[in-house]
């Protein structure tokens, strides 16, 4: 069992409180992503779990065992870093074997684990190469392989794909998802890239300024953000957020000070509840992003079919389907919504 429990965790650097009363339960075999902007505390939280940072308050437990005082080597965790951290003078085989050799594992067991990890990560042909002879994606697979051979209770990933180009990131994301299904292991993954979080995680933890803003399945966060921060952070392009009075005639909500609608739910036409001017059209192929401005100067983005003819400078009508409008009160918290059947079905997905 590799259930991780975090209770009232606090971390400070001098007078600065970086993590503030973090409470989180990570179940056995979950793939959990810590997601948030730079400086929100996500990497610090991961390093606290790993034992690389001392905590000033709270408790960490794995399978019921308190680990606060345990050094990193005794926590039975494996961490994959952004920088790969491979030994340049060692072959791939020796990099994979190094940690097990230090622990005095039998040579036959070490070789069996190396071959199994190499098979899973398609490294069989690279075992005798040095890191300098590998591409970035191959080096990252070796770093992941070094974690796999240890057979830890929990895998920790600290932005492991940020050094890769877009195509390699996509391929490696697929490999990590496949690896999680194969190993059935508990994985904790830090990223600022919401695409990684939405596609990999079974549960996403959104952090903001050292606090947990919301925890939930990826589609829960997308369809039901808890506050303005999550609403604006989750989604690409981001949700349109406007003062409630701007949309009062189109989508009035009692108690709302801010209303939000995602670009794909914004309807453009010859007529509509509001009028807007097209500022720019980003043609991305199957989809186009239409940047708009209302008469009061408010900016909006709409996502439309790529084949649709929209011209810079033209005036268009806008509609806001009420079932897709998010409402937020004066404190920034989301007001209750009535979900459409389609959204209810999406939220029911595992």
Same domain, 174 and 75: yes
Which of 189, 223, 257 is the C-terminal boundary of a domain?
Answer: 223
- The predicted pLDDT at position 338 comes to 62
SS3 call for 101: helix
The β-bridge relationship of strands 31-35 and 186-191 is parallel
Q: Which residue has the tokens 């059935």?
A: 184
Calculate ∠ Cα 304-291-199, nearest 5°.
Answer: 60
Q: How far apart are CA 248 and CA 341, in angstroms?
A: 25
Same domain, 215 and 309: no
Residues 215 and 263 grouped into a single domain: no
Phi, psi at residue 302, to the nearest 5°? Answer: -120, 140
Same domain? For 256 and 201 the reply is no
Same domain for 208 and 243, yes or no, is no
Phi, psi torsion values for 116, nearest 5 degrees: -65, -45
Is residue 123 domain-resident?
A: yes
Q: Are residues 179 and 249 in the same domain?
A: no
Closest CA to 194 of 155, 225, 153, 156: 225
Which CATH number is 256's domain given?
2.40.50.140
Same domain? For 268 and 146 the reply is: no
Is position 309 within any domain? Answer: yes
Report the relative pairing of strands 154-158 and 186-191 from DSSP bridges.
parallel
By residue count, the chain amounts to 350
Q: Are 237 and 250 in contact (CB under 8 A)?
A: no
Let me know whether 168 and 259 are in one domain.
no
Domain containing 264 equals: 236-347
In a domain, 338, yes or no: yes
Q: Does residue 25 sit in helix, strand or coil?
A: strand
Q: Are residues 18 and 74 in the same domain?
A: yes
Number of compact structural domains in the chain: 2
Q: Are residues 216 and 263 in the same domain?
A: no
State the angle between helix axes of 107-121 and 92-102 in degrees (0 to 180), rounded to the nearest 10: 140
Distance of CA 174 to the CA centre of its chain: 14
- Which residue, 322, 185, 19, 124, is CA-closest to 177? 185
Of residues 262, 349, 272, 281, the one with CA closest to residue 318: 272
Sequence-ordered strand ranges (E) for 14-153: 16-26, 31-35, 57-62, 65-66, 77-80
pLDDT of the chain, 350 residues: tens digit per residue: 689 999 999 999 999 999 999 999 999 999 999 999 999 999 999 999 999 999 999 999 999 999 999 999 899 999 998 887 888 999 999 999 998 888 888 999 999 999 999 988 889 999 999 999 998 888 888 999 999 998 899 999 999 888 888 888 888 888 889 889 988 899 999 999 998 999 999 999 999 999 999 999 999 999 999 999 999 999 989 999 988 887 665 556 778 899 999 999 999 988 888 899 999 999 999 999 999 999 888 899 999 998 888 899 999 998 888 888 899 999 999 998 765 555 556 556 66
Picking from 223, 250, 267, the residue at the C-terminal end of a domain is 223
DSSP per residue over 125-174, as a string? GGTT--GGGS-HHHHHHHHHHHHHHH--SEEEEESTTTTS-HHHHHHHHH
Q: 191: left (phi > 0), else alpha (psi -120 to 50), else beta?
A: beta
Residue 39 lies in a domain: yes
The answer on 125 and 44 residing in a single domain is: yes
Helix residue spans in 184-286 (DSSP H): 194-200, 218-223, 228-233, 248-251
Sort 95 into a burial class: Cβ within 10 Å, 0-12 / 13-18 / 19+. Answer: buried
Q: Is residue 230 part of a domain?
A: no
Q: What are the structure tokens assigned to 82, written together?
A: 């952004």
Asked whether 91 and 123 are in contact (CB, 8 A), the reply is no
Nearest partner of 234 among 271, 197, 201, 209, judged by Cα? 197
Same domain, 51 and 88: yes
- 67 touches 51 (CB < 8 A): yes
- Do the domain assignments include residue 166? yes
Residue 339: the pLDDT is 59
Asked if 301 and 235 touch (Cβ cutoff 8 Å), the reply is no
Decide if 231 is inside a domain. Answer: no
The 3-state DSSP class for residue 341 equals: helix
Domain containing 59 — which CATH number? 3.40.50.300
> Per the domain annotation, does 31 fall within a domain?
yes
Name the domain boundary from 223, 249, 272: 223
């Amino acid at each position: 069992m590799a259930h991780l429990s975090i209770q009232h965790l606090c971390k400070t650097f001098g007078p600065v409180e970086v993590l503030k009363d973090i409470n989180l339960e990570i179940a056995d075999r979950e793939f959990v992503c810590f997601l948030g902007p730079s400086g929100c505390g996500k990497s610090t939280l991961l390093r606290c779990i790993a034992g690389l940072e001392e905590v000033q308050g709270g408790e960490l437990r794995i399978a019921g065992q308190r680990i606060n005082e345990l050094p990193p080597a005794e926590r039975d965790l494996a961490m994959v870093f952004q920088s790969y951290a491979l030994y340049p003078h060692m072959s791939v085989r020796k990099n994979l074997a190094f940690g097990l050799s230090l622990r005095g594992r039998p040579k036959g067991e070490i070789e069996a684990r190396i071959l199994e990890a190499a098979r899973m990560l398609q490294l069989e042909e690279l075992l005798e190469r040095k890191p300098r002879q590998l591409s970035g994606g191959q080096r990252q697979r070796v770093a992941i392989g070094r974690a796999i051979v240890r057979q830890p209770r929990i895998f920790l990933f600290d932005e492991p794909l940020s050094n890769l180009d877009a195509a390699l990131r996509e391929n490696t994301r697929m490999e990590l998802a496949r690896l999680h299904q194969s190993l059935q292991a508990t994985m904790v993954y830090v990223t600022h890239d919401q695409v990684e979080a939405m596609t990999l995680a079974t549960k996403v933890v959104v952090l903001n300024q050292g606090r947990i803003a919301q925890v939930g399945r990826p589609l829960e966060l997308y369809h039901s953000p808890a506050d303005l921060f999550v609403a604006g952070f989750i989604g690409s392009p981001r949700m349109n957020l406007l003062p409630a009075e701007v949309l009062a005639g189109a989508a009035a909500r009692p108690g709302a000070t801010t209303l939000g609608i995602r670009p794909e739910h914004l309807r453009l036409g010859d007529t509509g509840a509001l009028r807007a001017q097209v500022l720019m059209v980003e043609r991305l192929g199957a989809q186009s992003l239409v940047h708009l401005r209302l008469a009061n100067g408010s900016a909006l983005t709409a996502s439309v079919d790529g084949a649709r003819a929209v011209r810079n400078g033209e005036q268009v009508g806008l509609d806001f389907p009420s079932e897709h409008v998010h409402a937020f009160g004066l404190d920034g918290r989301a007001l209750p919504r009535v979900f459409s059947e389609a959204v209810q079905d999406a939220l029911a997905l595992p």
